[in-house]
Structure 1
């Protein structure tokens, strides 16, 4: 029995890529296996090695992708910006090349598209995270509205990540409203800057509560992750509290100014 076909003509799949063509192939093949098709597929490459670009050209033919390249590595911020500028559809499904969609994802993507169609103030629907967003109001089908409270000093300072570069669906006008990704800085600073802009401009988003039920993040020994997130933990309790307070104060300062 053939599984249901999921067609998203108004959605552009945008994938950022750097030197991991096998991972990219796995991602694109996974969508294909789920009978999930899009109005277009844009692969934004950040100056991969020549031998990997050759493989990208082959994948471009197989999966009918629009391939956006650059001669110099400019970092993830630039890679997202140039990929987004190449998008022609109303909505952008943004996924990095080391993610793989699970069986349930196409069904939940249908709901996400519907949410954005029915609420013109909604900017983003998030599908994946490392931790549960702490302030949520259920809206149905496993999704909840993210509610922000800058004054809650007892919550982790990571509470403010209403935006992240993990897999999500957003309006293709997203950068027009919130500005381009900051370039020339590391990934965490670029993401932090976008998150601050999202909050300052009153961004509105939904979060899928079973946040690891729709995607797997997969890295092989042959194509390991090119980025290690900085999860600092200090064994001294008082120093940990001081760091928490500093980050809380800094965050509120950044949000104001």
Structure 2
């Protein structure tokens, strides 16, 4: 085990649903790598009884605040009730299928310092599927994300400013950007928060080597619970072209109207 570091003012918020082994892996990774948070909140979305049994056992070992619901209410409700349980100024949000790499501890220290010194930043992003298309170098491997709706750089990808992937944010996030949409699919919840973040002039930092800080692990025993349709996943050239055109038109329309 490495030497420990206490992140005062930061709560680790983990959303969970039917993947208790993944949750255990994440919690143990943080512990073994020496992280100490002021608080840990696990927000469960009505998991099956066998997973709830595991959660109660893990709670005794890792001493986290468990926030539950009697039935599955979706990603939006799960994040909302979890965030409401946070009492510290900052929230490190991580879904249960991620694992921090060795470099992350150092980068979390830096990003916490950045947030303390620069009140204009609302969040710091650590993971992505692609590099954000418009970045202004900041320091220590981080860059400021720059959104200009009229810019041709990145086409519609410039709208992917907010993400549910691991990030550090101010805990007044819901006050500034509104609650996460409830009663809709998870990808719709994320999309609506993305638009709210842009319309409310949110500002964020992005770690440029975005694959260096976290691994996303979906095992065969605990696969991803996010279901995507054929339209979103197909690699067909024709469908891909239509998808890109649709997103370009839809994102611009939703942003403006």
TM-score interval, smaller chain: over 0.9
Within 5 A, what are the aligned runs for 1:79-158? 79-153=78-152, 155-158=154-157
1:188 positional shift: 1.1
Query: 2-side partners of 1:256 and 1:115: how far apart?
Result: 31
Question: Is the 2:182–2:189 contact (alpha carbons within 8 Å) kept by the matching residues of 1?
Answer: yes
Q: Give the CA deviation at 1:23.
A: 0.6
The CA deviation at 1:44 is 0.2
> 2:89–2:171: 8 Å Cα contact kept in structure 1?
yes
* Distance change >3 Å, CA 242–CA 220, structure 1 → 2: closer
The Cα offsets for residues 67-107 of structure 1, whole Å up to 9 and x where unpaired, read as 00000100011100000000001000000000000001111
2:26·2:98 contact (CA, 8 Å) conserved in 1? Answer: yes
Report deviation, 1:221.
1.4
Q: Which residue of 2 aligns with 1:248?
A: 248
User: Matches of 1:128 and 1:34 in 2, distance apart?
Assistant: 19
- Gaps spanning 5+ residues in structure 1: where? none
Say if 1:38 and 1:154 are closer, same or farther in 2 by CA, change over 3 A. closer
TM norm structure 1: 0.95
CA distance in 1, matches of 2:22, 2:173: 26
C-alpha change, 1:129 and 1:14, in structure 2 (3 Å) is same
Q: Which residue of 2 aligns with 1:32?
A: 31
1:208 aligns with 2:212: no
Distance 2:212 2:227 in 1: 23
d(CA) in 1 for partners of 2:243 and 2:225? 27
**Contact 2:11–2:88 (CA under 8 A) maintained in structure 1:** yes
Cα distance between partner residues in 1 of 2:246 and 2:43:
36
Give the alignment's Cα RMSD to 1 decimal. Answer: 1.5
Task: Count the aligned residue pairs.
Answer: 254
| TM-score normalised by length of structure 2 | 0.95
Q: Which runs of 5+ in 2 are unaligned?
A: none
SS of 2:23's partner is helix
CA apart distance, 1:233 = 4.0
SS at match of 1:9: strand
Distance 1:241 1:58 in 2: 48
Cα distance change, pair 243–98 in 1 and its aligned pair in 2 (3 A):
closer
| SS in structure 2 at match of 1:115 | helix
Contact kept? 1:153, 1:248, Cα under 8 Å: no
Preserved CA contact (<8 Å) 1:45 1:68? yes
Change in CA separation of 1:243 and 1:222 when aligned onto 2, cut-off 3 Å: closer
1:153 positional shift: 4.1
